[in-house]
Amino acid sequence: MTRLTVYQDDAPETPIFSSTDPAAIVPVLREINAGFERWEAPVHLPADADSETIIAAFRPYLDTLMGATGAGSADVIALTPEHPQAAALREKFIAEHTHSEPEIRFFVAGSGHFVMHENGRVYDVLCEQNDLIQVPAGIRHWFDAGAQPRFTALRVFTDTSGWVAHYTGDPISRRFPLT
Protein backbone atom coordinates (compact mmCIF):
# COMPACT_ATOMS: atom_id res chain seq x y z
CA MET A 1 0.00 0.00 0.00
CA THR A 2 1.30 3.45 -0.92
CA ARG A 3 2.64 5.26 2.15
CA LEU A 4 4.30 8.57 2.96
CA THR A 5 6.48 8.75 6.06
CA VAL A 6 8.17 12.01 7.04
CA TYR A 7 11.14 12.35 9.41
CA GLN A 8 13.34 15.13 10.69
CA ASP A 9 16.61 14.60 8.81
CA ASP A 10 18.49 14.14 12.10
CA ALA A 11 16.02 11.60 13.56
CA PRO A 12 15.58 8.58 11.27
CA GLU A 13 14.12 6.48 14.06
CA THR A 14 11.12 8.77 14.74
CA PRO A 15 8.51 9.48 12.06
CA ILE A 16 6.70 12.81 12.44
CA PHE A 17 4.03 11.94 9.87
CA SER A 18 2.81 8.75 8.26
CA SER A 19 -0.20 8.06 6.06
CA THR A 20 -1.49 5.65 3.44
CA ASP A 21 -4.31 8.02 2.44
CA PRO A 22 -3.58 9.73 -0.91
CA ALA A 23 -5.77 12.67 0.17
CA ALA A 24 -3.38 13.22 3.10
CA ILE A 25 -0.20 12.48 1.12
CA VAL A 26 -0.81 15.02 -1.67
CA PRO A 27 -0.85 18.22 0.47
CA VAL A 28 2.23 17.17 2.46
CA LEU A 29 4.21 16.61 -0.74
CA ARG A 30 2.89 19.86 -2.20
CA GLU A 31 4.73 21.66 0.63
CA ILE A 32 7.97 20.77 -1.20
CA ASN A 33 6.47 21.17 -4.69
CA ALA A 34 6.46 17.39 -5.24
CA GLY A 35 3.51 15.73 -6.93
CA PHE A 36 1.69 12.48 -6.33
CA GLU A 37 -1.36 10.90 -7.87
CA ARG A 38 -2.90 7.50 -8.53
CA TRP A 39 -3.78 6.53 -12.08
CA GLU A 40 -6.53 3.98 -12.24
CA ALA A 41 -5.24 2.93 -15.63
CA PRO A 42 -7.35 0.32 -17.41
CA VAL A 43 -4.16 -1.13 -18.88
CA HIS A 44 -3.44 -4.74 -18.01
CA LEU A 45 -0.16 -6.10 -19.30
CA PRO A 46 1.54 -9.47 -18.94
CA ALA A 47 4.41 -9.51 -16.45
CA ASP A 48 6.89 -10.08 -19.28
CA ALA A 49 5.71 -7.18 -21.49
CA ASP A 50 8.61 -5.47 -23.25
CA SER A 51 9.32 -1.73 -23.19
CA GLU A 52 7.66 -1.01 -26.53
CA THR A 53 4.45 -2.78 -25.47
CA ILE A 54 4.37 -0.88 -22.16
CA ILE A 55 4.93 2.51 -23.79
CA ALA A 56 2.31 1.79 -26.47
CA ALA A 57 -0.25 0.70 -23.86
CA PHE A 58 0.27 3.85 -21.79
CA ARG A 59 0.68 6.23 -24.76
CA PRO A 60 -2.61 8.15 -24.15
CA TYR A 61 -1.64 8.77 -20.51
CA LEU A 62 1.95 9.64 -21.45
CA ASP A 63 0.86 12.09 -24.13
CA THR A 64 -1.33 13.93 -21.62
CA LEU A 65 1.39 13.94 -18.95
CA MET A 66 4.13 14.97 -21.35
CA GLY A 67 1.97 17.77 -22.75
CA ALA A 68 1.29 19.08 -19.23
CA THR A 69 4.94 18.94 -18.13
CA GLY A 70 6.71 19.87 -21.35
CA ALA A 71 8.50 16.53 -21.35
CA GLY A 72 9.74 15.18 -24.63
CA SER A 73 10.48 11.50 -24.12
CA ALA A 74 9.66 8.45 -22.05
CA ASP A 75 11.26 5.10 -21.44
CA VAL A 76 10.79 2.04 -19.26
CA ILE A 77 13.01 0.87 -16.43
CA ALA A 78 12.47 -2.60 -15.06
CA LEU A 79 14.51 -4.26 -12.35
CA THR A 80 14.30 -7.71 -10.81
CA PRO A 81 16.62 -9.56 -8.43
CA GLU A 82 17.84 -11.62 -11.40
CA HIS A 83 19.09 -8.56 -13.30
CA PRO A 84 22.89 -8.89 -13.59
CA GLN A 85 23.39 -5.28 -12.47
CA ALA A 86 20.69 -5.16 -9.75
CA ALA A 87 23.15 -4.50 -6.90
CA ALA A 88 25.12 -1.88 -8.86
CA LEU A 89 21.95 -0.08 -9.94
CA ARG A 90 20.68 -0.03 -6.36
CA GLU A 91 23.91 1.63 -5.24
CA LYS A 92 23.64 4.17 -8.05
CA PHE A 93 20.04 5.12 -7.23
CA ILE A 94 20.39 5.03 -3.43
CA ALA A 95 23.07 7.72 -3.25
CA GLU A 96 21.52 11.14 -2.63
CA HIS A 97 21.42 13.17 -5.84
CA THR A 98 19.56 15.87 -7.75
CA HIS A 99 18.53 16.35 -11.36
CA SER A 100 18.34 19.49 -13.49
CA GLU A 101 14.81 18.49 -14.54
CA PRO A 102 11.86 16.98 -12.66
CA GLU A 103 12.00 13.24 -12.09
CA ILE A 104 8.65 11.77 -13.14
CA ARG A 105 7.87 8.10 -12.61
CA PHE A 106 4.76 6.01 -13.07
CA PHE A 107 4.84 2.56 -11.48
CA VAL A 108 3.49 0.00 -13.94
CA ALA A 109 4.24 -2.87 -11.54
CA GLY A 110 6.06 -3.52 -8.28
CA SER A 111 7.19 -0.91 -5.79
CA GLY A 112 10.04 1.27 -4.56
CA HIS A 113 10.80 4.14 -2.21
CA PHE A 114 11.33 7.66 -3.53
CA VAL A 115 12.93 9.55 -0.66
CA MET A 116 13.23 13.34 -0.82
CA HIS A 117 15.39 15.47 1.48
CA GLU A 118 14.24 19.06 1.79
CA ASN A 119 13.99 21.76 4.49
CA GLY A 120 15.46 19.55 7.22
CA ARG A 121 13.01 16.74 6.55
CA VAL A 122 13.06 13.41 4.79
CA TYR A 123 9.93 12.41 2.83
CA ASP A 124 9.84 8.66 2.15
CA VAL A 125 7.16 7.75 -0.42
CA LEU A 126 6.58 4.03 -0.92
CA CYS A 127 5.25 3.99 -4.49
CA GLU A 128 3.36 1.02 -5.88
CA GLN A 129 1.57 0.00 -9.05
CA ASN A 130 -0.50 2.89 -10.52
CA ASP A 131 1.37 5.56 -8.51
CA LEU A 132 2.73 8.62 -10.30
CA ILE A 133 5.36 10.68 -8.50
CA GLN A 134 6.95 13.94 -9.60
CA VAL A 135 10.14 15.02 -7.84
CA PRO A 136 10.99 18.67 -8.60
CA ALA A 137 14.23 19.62 -10.33
CA GLY A 138 17.00 20.34 -7.85
CA ILE A 139 15.46 18.53 -4.88
CA ARG A 140 17.82 16.13 -3.10
CA HIS A 141 16.52 12.57 -3.22
CA TRP A 142 17.27 8.88 -3.67
CA PHE A 143 15.41 5.77 -4.77
CA ASP A 144 15.46 2.32 -3.19
CA ALA A 145 13.60 -0.79 -4.33
CA GLY A 146 15.41 -2.99 -1.84
CA ALA A 147 17.93 -5.80 -2.08
CA GLN A 148 15.39 -7.86 -4.03
CA PRO A 149 14.02 -5.18 -6.41
CA ARG A 150 10.93 -5.90 -8.43
CA PHE A 151 9.45 -2.97 -10.30
CA THR A 152 8.64 -1.64 -13.73
CA ALA A 153 8.24 2.11 -14.16
CA LEU A 154 7.74 4.60 -16.95
CA ARG A 155 10.27 7.42 -16.80
CA VAL A 156 9.38 10.75 -18.38
CA PHE A 157 12.11 13.20 -19.44
CA THR A 158 12.34 16.78 -20.63
CA ASP A 159 16.06 16.51 -21.37
CA THR A 160 16.81 14.06 -24.18
CA SER A 161 19.94 12.90 -22.32
CA GLY A 162 17.69 10.87 -20.02
CA TRP A 163 18.57 10.12 -16.40
CA VAL A 164 21.51 12.30 -15.32
CA ALA A 165 22.29 12.43 -11.60
CA HIS A 166 24.26 15.12 -9.77
CA TYR A 167 25.43 13.39 -6.58
CA THR A 168 25.54 15.45 -3.38
CA GLY A 169 28.09 13.31 -1.52
CA ASP A 170 25.87 13.41 1.58
CA PRO A 171 25.62 9.92 3.16
CA ILE A 172 22.13 10.66 4.54
CA SER A 173 20.50 7.80 2.63
CA ARG A 174 22.54 5.35 4.75
CA ARG A 175 21.05 6.76 7.96
CA PHE A 176 17.46 6.08 6.98
CA PRO A 177 15.76 2.70 6.98
CA LEU A 178 16.44 0.77 3.81
CA THR A 179 13.88 -1.61 2.39
- Cα(178)–Cα(171) distance, rounded to whole angstroms? 13
Q: Are 20 and 1 in contact (CB under 8 A)?
A: yes
Helix-then-strand count for the chain, H and E: 3, 11
* Distance of alpha carbon 49 from alpha carbon 44, whole angstroms: 10
> How much is the pLDDT for 75?
87
Helix, strand, coil percentages, rounded to 5, for the chain: 25, 35, 40
Q: Which residues of 55-81 are buried (b: 16+ CB within 10 A; e: fewer)?
A: eebbeebbeebbeebebeebebebbee
Residue 135, strand partner residues? 103
Q: What is the pLDDT of residues 147-178, one digit of tens each?
A: 899 999 998 877 666 677 899 999 999 998 76
Architecture category of domain 3-172 in CATH: Sandwich (2.60)
Per-residue model confidence (pLDDT) at position 73: 77
Neighbours of 50 (CB within 10 A): 12
Residue 66 confidence (pLDDT) = 74
Break the chain into its structural domains and give their ranges: 3-172
Listed as ranges, residues in the chain with pLDDT below 50 are none
The pLDDT of residue 137: 92
> Taking phi first (over 0 means left), then psi (-120 to 50 degrees means alpha), and beta for anything else, what does residue 105 get?
beta
Distance between the two ends of the chain, CA-based, in angstroms? 14
Q: What is the pLDDT of residue 70?
A: 61
Dist. CA 55–CA 49, nearest whole Å? 10
